[in-house]
Structure 1
């Protein structure tokens, strides 16, 4: 008789991973539940909102109900090193990191995966809303990362940094299901997580008060909030020159000086703000709300513009440095001078937009057909063909 394949499921104490574990058991796998305890700092979490104890307890109860072995692993050290410290470094440089994408790349599908494989697992599984499919090409197995069936819950973006090796060992049991169906299965199996609301916030530090979290490491310092008029000279782009120059122009951030606008208020530190942000500026009396259009952490200035349609919020292109380009589909990597028509997004939940990839010597330009709002350094751009995520990169 063939030995059952062993799958380690990351049980987070939520409904998605609970149902993932149940489905795998139904499919005849030998299932082990593992709860990851990650770094967290009680002084900045909104205390009742980050009940990792409650979560690990729920995960344990689910494992008992499904009659599968369960254990907790403490990954706080790796989490602090690879996620938290990285976040502070990024904010300090005036970039806005995406901890969820990193958390998947560095923790769930790296540290956690190694632990699972040490436990003799054939696969790891998570409760992500995405799908995997595989096919043969030139005698090799190629794994595809596909969007989840539920358009409201598709989480492929968060997995945009996964590699072929990681995908080969991963299962996404709920990717074919819609969220209401997942809750229905959990209720039918009488799992304690059936009604539990979805977790928000930083991967799994819980809901963090970001400014306070950052203030612990990055000292507040007072600076000016400058409003830039919408007819600012710098928005008039010159005539097109060579192609690479043109790509650079389309992807370039507009540069501002303090005297390009009017000082309208003060702030406590430019590195606490991000492009497109509207809340927390504390400046009133403008006709339309002010949005952050740029931050300068060197000079400690925040540049703002009035209203959602301010030209300072929009750009048609972005650039990804050579070392920060990541192809899930390694077989499709572009050579220098090649282009590819794709659909792309620059943040989770954003509808996919038409774009063209241009591979140059220095890196990859992503040029959108329509200007995009609040392209933000440090965030990830992910590109797709149909519902397949092909690759991603850090916006530089």
Structure 2
């Protein structure tokens, strides 16, 4: 019987390297594949990452290949990123990177080349779930809750999960580092990547400025009083503290002190940034659209848990359907609920699906 053939996405980092090692150790026919999606600008380390991925493949003695998805990544991820910010949204490009590139184009390529599955270094866990009337694939939080990346994977469905492998789901990060060191992987001590998927650790404001220009406008409080000036509503995110110019007249009202304000809304049409403080910055509910489910619309309106940002707290919630959208009532009011970000739903440790906050 032939071994299952797995294409492992080798990013050049320690997580994907250990994933490839673990699969080879388990007897799979492993091939390392490096995806080139972005190779420009400050913060980009594409050349080094490609070299590190090759070194890992050589150390593991596995075949190695490179796929160039730069055109598709720009069209499907980066252009949408800029377009959404221009609309006043705060998008999450890592969600699209996973659904469009890693578990979209990479998976399609792997299937066409005869691979049984693809694997990545995500901290998540895929399980086959046996139920009375069906067998399905479930996506669960990993052992290492601090590294949990299920939030970015909520758009994966049965087709993708049936062909996906996440070898690190049952490991903690410290264990992964230890394995890499013990088996002599050349990236054992390499720092984790930060920032936008494939782009790297960049200053978001600077990155946006490459395409979106300054457009000065008023900063107002929730009563409409002018607080100061901003450089362009797209350079700010909901929940952000400060970062704009406060007028001298407004400061006088507070004895010369600058009060602690947070962004609560972005009025793109009128080029206004709305700020508030205290209770004004919290929301008790949110509307979620463009919903995607791992296997069915299984979320219970009576109760589930929701996460509104990567690494954020899991909050108890209830849902109410409104056509194709769902209003989510939060058990605890939250600050920084940003339109364009993802709201992801869980039952216990299982991810059910998610959507975009409106």
Normalised-by-shorter TM-score class: over 0.9
User: Per the alignment, in what secondary structure is the counterpart of residue 152 of structure 1?
Assistant: helix
Spell out, residue by residue over 1:261-298, the C-alpha distance to the aligned partner (whole angstroms, 9 max, x if none): 43222111111111001252244854542211111111
* Paired position in structure 1 for 2:241: 278
* Paired position in structure 2 for 1:328: 294
Scaled by the length of structure 2, the TM-score of the pair is 0.94
Worse-matched range after superposition: 53-62 or 310-319: 310-319
* 1:161-176 matches, cutoff 5 A: 161-176=155-170
Scaled by the length of structure 1, the TM-score of the pair is 0.85
The question of whether the paired residues in 1 share the 8 Å contact of 2:285 and 2:328 is answered with yes
The question of whether the paired residues in 1 share the 8 Å contact of 2:298 and 2:352 is answered with no
Give structure 2 stretches of 5+ with no counterpart.
none
CA RMSD of aligned residues (A): 1.6
* Matching of residue 290 in structure 1 with residue 284 in structure 2: no
Measure how far apart 1:224 and its partner are.
1.0
* 1:1-396 matches, cutoff 5 A: 2-42=1-41, 45-46=42-43, 50-137=44-131, 140-228=134-222, 260-283=223-246, 286-306=257-277, 310-321=278-289, 324-330=290-296, 332-333=297-298, 339-396=301-358
In the alignment, the residues of structure 2 paired with residue 286 and residue 9 of structure 1 have an alpha-carbon distance, to the nearest angstrom, of: 55
In the alignment, the residues of structure 1 paired with residue 225 and residue 147 of structure 2 have an alpha-carbon distance, to the nearest angstrom, of: 42
Q: How many matched pairs?
A: 350
In the alignment, the residues of structure 2 paired with residue 119 and residue 312 of structure 1 have an alpha-carbon distance, to the nearest angstrom, of: 54
Spell out, residue by residue over 1:303-336, the C-alpha distance to the aligned partner (whole angstroms, 9 max, x if none): 1124xxx222111111123xx1111131x446xx
Give structure 1 stretches of 5+ with no counterpart.
229-259
Spell out, residue by residue over 1:141-187, the C-alpha distance to the aligned partner (whole angstroms, 9 max, x if none): 31110001001111111111111100000000011000000000000
Measure how far apart 1:210 and its partner are.
1.8
User: Per the alignment, in what secondary structure is the counterpart of residue 234 of structure 2?
Assistant: helix
